[in-house]
């Protein structure tokens, strides 16, 4: 039995297709699952999807970028932006 290994690199990724992105999220990466999975597992799953279903290789980076941005935004915490904002907040709090 002879086995052949494909050594040709995959074609460069193109633009993500909105219909395929919707199918990817509905079938393989539902948003609720993406929110709950640790980053390492999410990256591994996207890699598996790219290997098993190469037509989604343009869409998996979009899902990852969205989730990384969401996690960054939520982990930043609350803070007052600038000295003027802090001073005006303090002055309104003193008036009450």
Question: Would you say residue 37 lies in a domain?
Answer: yes
Question: Would you say residue 2 lies in a domain?
Answer: no
Question: pLDDT value at position 81?
Answer: 63
Domain of residue 52, residue span: 28-75
- Considering its fold, how many domains does the chain have in total? 1
Question: Would you say residue 87 lies in a domain?
Answer: no
Between the CA atoms of 45, 49, 51 and 57, what dihedral angle is there, to the nearest 10 degrees?
-110
Question: Would you say residue 60 lies in a domain?
Answer: yes
Q: What is the pLDDT of residues 54-90, one digit of tens each?
A: 999 999 999 999 999 999 999 887 666 666 655 655 6
Quote the DSSP letter at residue 49: H
Question: Would you say residue 65 lies in a domain?
Answer: yes
Question: pLDDT value at position 75?
Answer: 87
Which ranges constitute the DSSP H helices of 1-96?
18-27, 31-36, 39-52, 60-75, 83-95
Inform me whether the pLDDT recorded for 31 exceeds 50. Answer: yes
Question: Would you say residue 62 lies in a domain?
Answer: yes
Query: Could you tell me which residue, 35 or 82, shows the higher pLDDT?
Result: 35
Single pTM value for the model: 0.65
Mean pLDDT score of the chain: 83
Question: Would you say residue 4 lies in a domain?
Answer: no
């Amino acid at each position: 039995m002879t086995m052949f290994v494909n050594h040709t690199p995959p074609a460069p990724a193109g633009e993500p297709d909105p219909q395929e992105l919707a199918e990817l999220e509905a079938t393989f990466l539902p948003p609720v699952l993406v929110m709950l999975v640790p980053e390492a597992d999410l990256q591994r799953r996207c890699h598996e999807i790219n290997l098993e279903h190469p037509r989604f290789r343009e869409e998996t980076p979009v899902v990852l970028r969205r989730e990384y941005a969401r996690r960054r935004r939520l982990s930043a915490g609350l803070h007052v932006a600038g000295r003027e904002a802090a001073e005006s907040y303090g002055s309104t709090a003193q008036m009450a």
